[in-house]
Amino acid sequence: MHGKSAFRVSINYDGLPVARESQMLAEQDANAPHEINTDGAISLKTDFGKVSLGSDFSFELQDAQGKSLIKSSRLSRFRDGFIKVHLDKLVSAPSDIYGAGAKAGSPLRVDHSTPWIVNHFGDGAEAFGPQYYSLTDGYGALMVPASDFSNRTDYHSLNKPVWGPDDKEVLVPDFGKYPANWTSSDDGITWVADGASLDLYLMPASDIYKHLKAHAELTGKPLVPPRYAFGFMASRWGWTDRHYIEDTLLTFRREKFPLDSYISDFEFFGTFNDYNIPNEGNSSYHDFGWNKELYNDPATQLEMYKELGFRLGAIRKPRFGNPKILEKMKKEGWLLPEFLNQALYLDGPARHMNFSTSAAKQWYANRNQHYVDEGMSFWWNDEGEVYYFQYHDWNIAEQMEFNKADPDKRFFSLNRVYTPGLQRLGAAVWTGDIPVSWEALQQQPGYMHNYNLAGNVYTACDTGGFASGANTSSELLARWYWSSAFFTLMRVHSSCTTNGHDCYTDDGSLPTKPHFPFLYGKAAGDAMRQALELRYKMIPMFYSLGHEAYATGAPITRPLMMEFGHDQKAVNIEDQWLVGNGLMTAPVLSEGGKRSVYFPQLAKGEHWFEMGSSKRLKGNQKKKFTVPLDETLVFCRSGTLVPLGPVVQHTGELPGPRAILEMQVYPGRDGSFTLVEDDGESRGYEKGHGVRSTLFKWNDQTGTLSWTVQGSKNRHPSMFRRVEVKLFGRDTSGFAQLAQAGSLIVSAESLVLV
C-alpha cells in the first residue's frame, strides 16, 4: 500500500524489497484501509482494488468491483542486470494509453516510452516520465527503479559519441534519461528497468479523471500559482536599459494591453552570456549580481513596478561562470561531471551544478536570497536537463529562498521540462525553444494536452516562437495570442537577434522584434488586445479551476477525449480543447483564417452554443468557419456555467470598480460551477483559510440558478460582491448579492437550431 489509491509492488533480486525514496513521490499521511490474506496466494484488498501474488510468481490486479485488469503468469525476470516486468492482459487487444509525457508533434495515444528530459533547440523540449495510464485496461502505473540514472552506455547513452581522453570518441551515459522504460503490445505492457530492484506503483482507475486524482495523491497535489501568474507575461531576450523597460511597461498600460509580469533573460544580471566561458570561468562574469544599466536601484524599482501592477520574473541557469564560484563548487564537490554536459552548446561543459545534496541547495538559496528580498517575484529556470531530477532539486532550493522571505507566500517558477512530482512544488512548465512557424503554433496544444495527461496542470509556450532566427508575422502572432489565451499560462517570448540564439554577437544579425502587441500594426494590435481582454475576463474561471485541480487532480485545460471518450471522432483531436468540462475553444492555427471545427456528440436535447450567443449547433457534425483576425472560435455545451470578470489591466485590479461577476448560463442540461476566491497570494488555501467557495447550480427544468456560499466570512477586496446572470436563449439577466446564498429564476426560449 502507498497512500489512498496506489499499490506498491516491490521487486528485489538482491535482497529484501525495500521502498525506495524518489522525488516523484509525495509524502503520505496514511494508507487506505486494507485487508491482507495469506491463504494460498498473498493478497491485499482495499476499497479501490486488490492485488494478488502467487507462490509461482503469478500476479493479478483487480479493480474495486473485482474485475481483473492485469493477470500475469510470471510477474518478473532478472537477466544481464535488467529486470523485466510483465503486466499481461486477459484478452489480447490494442490498448489506448496516455500520460507518459510530451514533445513536439507527439500524439495523445502512445505505445512506448523511454523517460528522458532534453531540449531540442528549434523544435522544443521533450519530457517523458516512467508512467502511463491505460484507459482500455483501467489502471495507471509509475515505476521507481534502483537508481535515478544509469552508467550503462549500451542503453542510456547520449545521442552521439563525445571526445574522450587522447582525442578518441567514446560513448558516455546520459543522466537525463531515467533507467526504466515500457513498451505496449496487444498482450500487455513490458517494463525494463536497470538494476536488481524496483518499485512499481499501480493505480486502478476506470477513467482519466480518477487516474489523475490517484496520480496527484501519489506524486503530490498541483499547487495553485499566485493569481498574477494567470495573467499575461511579457518576456524577451534583449532588455537594454532601465528606460527601455519602463517605456515598454508604460506602453502596455497606455495602449490598454493587460499585463501582470515581465520576464528578463541573461541581461538582468550580466552584460554577456556564458556560452563561450571555458571550464575555468571568466572573472568578468558575475552570477549573482544586477546589471546596473537595467537595475541601478533594484529594490526601489521593483517596488515601484509592483505598485503599477507589474511583477518581475527572471532567468536562472543551473551553472556558473565566475572563477571564484567555480572554485567553491569544485571544492565542495557540487559540480557535475564534464561528460554529462557535452550535448549542450557550451565551451565550458564542466560548470553545471549538482543540486542533489541539502548543503548544495542551501548554498544556492543563500546566494540567490538577495534577489527575492529585493523584489523578484518568480524564477524562469532554463537548461536544467543534465540529470533527470535537476529541475526538481533546483526548485526545492528556490523554494527555500521564498520561504525565508515569507513562508506564507506561494512559490511559483517556470521550467523547461516536467518530471512527475514537480507540480507539488508550485513549478510550472513551458514547451521549450520552439521555432517561429505555423507548424510550431499547431504543435503547442498537443504539448499542453500531453502534459495535462501526465499530471502537469500549468503549461505555457513561447507565444510567437523563439528559435528559428526569423521575425514573426502580424497574422501568425495574433493567431498565436488567441490560442495562448486559452492555455493555463499565457506568455510571449522572443530571441534577441535573428541568428536565433546569441544576443551579444557582432556578426551582422538583425534585432528580433519583440512579440509585444503594440509593435505589429493597428489591426493585429487590436486583435491581440481582444485576445488579452478575453483572457483577463476568464481569469475567475481559470483560477477557480486551478483550485479544483488542487483538490482533484483534474487539469484546467482538457483534451476532448476526457469528456467525449465515447465519440471516436473526438478522441484524437488536439487543435480543439476544453477549459473545464464545457467550454470548447478552436483557435485558428493556420494561415488564412479558415478552419473546420468538429462538435462532439451530445445527449438528446443538448446543443453547442457560440459563446456569448443564443445561436445553437448540433453535435456530431463538422462545420467550416472563416474567422476574422480579431476573433476566435469558442463554444459552450448545454449545462455549462461560465464565470467572467471585468476587463482589467492587471489582476490586482480585480474585482473591478463594480465588483460584478458575470455568470453565463447555457441551457439544455443541469450544470454547476464552483467559484473559488481568496487573496491570490498566500498559502492559506492549502489549509482552507481565507477561501470563499460559491457553488452555482443550474436546474434546467425549473430555469433556476441557485448558489450557496462556504468558507471565509472575511471578504478580501478582490472578491466579487454581486453576480449578473445571463441566460442565453433569450436576453434574460438578473442581479443578486454574492455574500450569501441565493437564487434567480430565468427561462430559455426562442432558440434557433443551426
Cα dihedral 183, 189, 195, 201, rounded to 10, equals 120
**Which cell goes with 5?**
489509491
Residues in the chain: 754
- pLDDT score of 750: 36
Overall CATH class of domain 641-753: mainly beta
What CA–CA distances, in Å, run from 568 to 7, 9, 140, 448, 601? 32, 34, 22, 21, 10
* CA 71 to mean position of chain CA atoms: 34
Burial call 501-525: b when 16+ CB within 10 Å, e when fewer:
bbbeeeeebeebebbbbbebeeebb
Give the closest residue to 32 by CA, choosing from 68, 8, 59, 65: 8
Strands of 255-383 (E only): list them: 261-264, 311-316, 378-381
Region(s) of the chain under CATH 2.60.40.1180: 557-627, 641-753
Nearest to 230 by CA among 55, 1, 456, 460: 460
DSSP class per residue in 214-254: HHHHHH---PPPPGGGGSEEEEES----HHHHHHHHHHHHH
Q: For the segment 297-347, what is each residue's pLDDT rounded down to a tens digit?
A: 999 999 999 999 999 999 999 999 999 999 999 999 999 988 776 556 688
Is there a cis peptide before residue 655, judged by omega within 30 degrees of 0? yes
Question: What is the distance between the alpha carbons of residues 189 and 101, in angstroms, rounded to a whole number?
Answer: 17
For residue 250, what are the contacts with CB-CB under 8 A and spacing of at least 6? none
- CB 251 within 8 Å of CB 262: no
Contact by Cβ (8 Å): 371, 407: no
The number of helix segments (H) and strand segments (E) in the chain equals 10, 45
Q: Where in the chain is the domain with CATH 3.20.20.80?
A: 230-546
Rounded Cα distance, 506 and 449, in Å: 40
Q: Please state, in angstroms and as integers, the Cα–Cα distance from residue 192 to each residue in 104, 109, 172, 394, following that order.
A: 25, 20, 20, 28
Which stretches of the chain drop beneath a pLDDT of 70? 154-170, 341-345, 498-510, 730-731, 747-754
* The model's pTM: 0.96
Q: CA 593, CA 386: separation in Å to the nearest integer? A: 41
Q: What integer pLDDT is reported at residue 752 of this predicted model?
A: 35
Q: Please provide residue 458's backbone torsions phi and psi, each rounded to the nearest 5 degrees.
A: -110, 115
Task: Report, at the CATH architecture level, how domain 557-627 is classified.
Answer: Sandwich (2.60)
The CATH class of the 230-546 domain is alpha beta
The sign of the CA dihedral 468, 474, 480, 485 is: positive
First to last CA, the chain: 53
Which residues have C-beta within 8 Å of that of residue 473, sequence separation ≥ 6? none
Q: Are 275 and 121 in contact (CB under 8 A)?
A: no
